[in-house]
Amino acid sequence: MSSQIKEQILSIVRKPGYQPLNKSELARDLGIPPKDRAFFRRVLAELVSDGKLVQGKKARYRLPGKQGGGVRFVGTIQFSGERKRKSAFFVPENPDDHRVFREMDRPRIFVPARSTSVALDGDKVEVEIGQSGPPKWHKHSRRHRERSNSGEDRWTARVVNILERNRTQFVGKYFGKGARATLRPDDGRLPPSIRLTEVMPEAKPGDIVVAELVGWDDPFSPPLARMTKVLGREDDPGVDMLAVIHKYGLPLEFPDAVLREAELIDEVIDQEEIDRREDWREKQVFTIDPEDAKDFDDAICVTEKEGGGWELAVHIADVSHYVKSGSALDKEAQKRGNSVYLADRVIPMLPEKLSNGVCSLKPNVERLTHAAIMQFDEKGKMTSSRFASAVIRSHHRFSYEKAFELMQYDEHQIAAIEDEKMRSLAIHLARAWDLGGLLRRRRFANGALDLDFPEVRVVLDEKGRAVGVKRSEYDESHQLIEEFMLAANEAVAYETKNAPAPSIYRIHEDPDPGKLEEFADLARTFGHQVGDVTYRPELQKLLQAIRGTLEEHSVKIALLKSLRRAAYSCDPLGHYGLSKTNYTHFTSPIRRYADLIVHRVLRRILSRRHEPTAPEHPDKTPPQQGMSDIAQHISKTERVAADAEMETQRMKMIEYLERLCSEDDDTVFDATVFEMRPIGAFIELDELYVKGMIRKDDLPPTDEYFFDRVRDEFRSRTMAPTIGVGKQIKVRLYRVNRDRGFVDFVPA
């Protein structure tokens, strides 16, 4: 079977006039069914490993040609956060396609500083690899152990081509004047100095500015850029947030054409449109969202069935009715990929007229939805599903806090509610949790991982200053909505997967066993009994054991880092963390472009089947390659958004810590040690989830601390407490490096 498919692949590639195809296109040309796609990918990987195929730009396959001295690969280059220009690592685009990377615990290759050429952090590059020795590491160092275990020491890479710049816009501090004008980037992963060829007349040395890359063709000279914007002085209000926005290239405004298109949308729904849809306006549909939310994507309605079981209707804002394929609104939404939730603002995917207006499922107003209506038996198993265009009038808008409060009521407390409407809604919530709780238990019984934990966000005043924190517990109200959204996403994925139409799926591939074992070692340092975590029940057992412990957050974050990152793909590869074979994103089209595409795909499927509420002329959807390009693009915009969101939250959290400590020098925090290195102990504050370091050089000299390499801890020659992984310790804020986002503490 394997040799037969190999010959079929090679026959296509050898045809005269062959244009390189990617995995999905080759699979489609050969008629490979979805259930055999994993096997097909292994066959392709074997052909690459054997040297019979080469994977080039945009992951397309071709016959090998002349390529110089070594083997060449395409991937991403990653620099460290150190200020001085130094070495980097090459991460292959498709690590499973060659034995070089399959043999590594961590698929990456060392790039010496002399071999990085003019690559910038995050660039897509082509490298040539060979077997030669990288710089030596101290034999007792953590880096030496990591590199020896991972197989990195056997290979080095040399950048031979820059295929695509990750960014062309830099943010930093302006120094000098005239021919000596330079910019020092905020991001330590970039070259330490960038020469400015143009300077704006209003700029003053010391200002935070934005510059656009002009060019860089000599690794022995700094990159060239021109100044495009002056943000202001470093300590001016709001400059820190603007710096992050420009650093990640996030859009601040919508183009005029997009805003004009949005303004033409009528908020009053045409009666003809209402008549062709299922009418849910009199049914008890309601929403549950964060207290400060304005864009309400989803609403729910749960009905108990005679004889047992439930009907769950998940109503999702019908963005596809208003945002047509190929329109200015659609092109801008695709470009943005998703909304971005920064510490002080939301950068929406769609203009406010849609995101907070006509598409938002506000209470007591008519709204158009795309509904997933699912039937469940008394054991919580989905027995059937259907999809319909609908119109609703949400009966109530719950915050998570209010919904949770009502969900704690017993029958007597519910009966005592005087307001008839609220009493009815409380009964509905109880009925919904009967189903939601059952779905949750079934999901974990099927192998899903419990990776939820409380969230701490900074509270800002009207001037954007950090004045407090808000802790959000992941209680039953959050779990209820999560389970219903997961059910809808799974039902839609099953529908699109079994239809002859390309679509986009949310995938989470199986983790690397080596990384899981590294995670298990960390969990053991906290004193937990850990079995074989590559066996899912053992991993679930560990997550159950750490629930409620001080180290829960640190251990779960470590697990997340050991897993592969979830992404979008045209191939329905399933979701490891959720333990679902079929999964997509359908429930948030206001803030995710993937969901909007899936809505259109589903509409076309329903239209072909002549479903009663399906549109007669549904929007066009991209072909397979177009879908693949969109999936790759929105996976990238999602990563950018996540990085920007985390950076602004950490930045404002540090600001809050400084504020606390300036008001009271004796402020003490409870912390847990989660990692040890000779340079210091890495800790996390138990209540605020802020990570920082207790540096060895900052430990009290009278305690005579030394690093015990065998026990991996700081020990004292006096009677001072030992500092090691899992230890609880009280600390004070000692030093903040805003430029690099570092926070140092000392024992209290």
412-430: average pLDDT: 94
- Distance, CA of 408 to CA of 403 (rounded, Å): 9
pLDDT for residue 67 is more than 80: no
232-240: average pLDDT: 91
How much is the mean pLDDT over the chain? 89
How many other C-beta atoms lie within 10 A of the C-beta of residue 173? 18
Give one DSSP letter per residue of 199-231, joined into a string.
Answer: --TT--TT-EEEEEEEE---TTS--EEEEEEEE
> Distance between the two ends of the chain, CA-based, in angstroms?
67
683-699: average pLDDT: 93
pLDDT for residue 133 is more than 80: no
User: What number of residues does the chain have?
Assistant: 748
**Position of tokens 């690794």?**
219
pLDDT for residue 405 is more than 70: yes
Give the pLDDT of residue 318.
97
Q: Return the half-sphere exposure (C-beta side, CA atoms, 13 A cut-off) of residue 428.
A: 23
- Radius of gyration of the chain measured on its C-alpha atoms: 28
pLDDT for residue 296 is more than 70: yes
Give the pLDDT of residue 140.
43
Closest C-alpha to 301, from 363, 401, 374: 374
pLDDT for residue 147 is more than 60: no
How many other C-beta atoms lie within 10 A of the C-beta of residue 65? 7
Give the pLDDT of residue 42.
81
Write the single-letter amino acid at 231.
L
The tens digit of pLDDT for each residue in 535-591 reads 999 999 999 999 888 888 888 998 998 999 999 999 999 999 999 999 999 999 999
Give the pLDDT of residue 13.
85
Give one DSSP letter per residue of 126-177, joined into a string.
Answer: EEEEE--------TTSHHHHHHHHHTGGG-EEEEEEEEE-S-SEEEEEEE--
- Distance, CA of 508 to CA of 176 (rounded, Å): 48
141-145: average pLDDT: 46
The tens digit of pLDDT for each residue in 94-125 reads 776 666 676 676 678 999 988 999 999 999 99
**Position of tokens 């793909």?**
569
Give the pLDDT of residue 698.
94
- In Å, how far are 465, 471, 637 from 235, measured between CA atoms? 11, 28, 29
How many other C-beta atoms lie within 10 A of the C-beta of residue 392? 28
How many other C-beta atoms lie within 10 A of the C-beta of residue 697? 9
Domains of the chain: 2-62 (1.10.10), 71-164 (2.40.50.690), 169-236 (2.40.50.640), 256-509+566-648 (no CATH), 513-562 (no CATH), 664-747 (2.40.50.140)
Comparing 48-57, 119-128, 268-277, 427-436, which segment has the lowest mean pLDDT? 48-57
% of the chain surpassing 90 pLDDT: 68
Give the pLDDT of residue 673.
93
Q: Which two tokens stand for residue 272?
A: 């003809």
The CA angle 51-55-56, to the nearest 5 degrees, is 130
Give the pLDDT of residue 59.
73
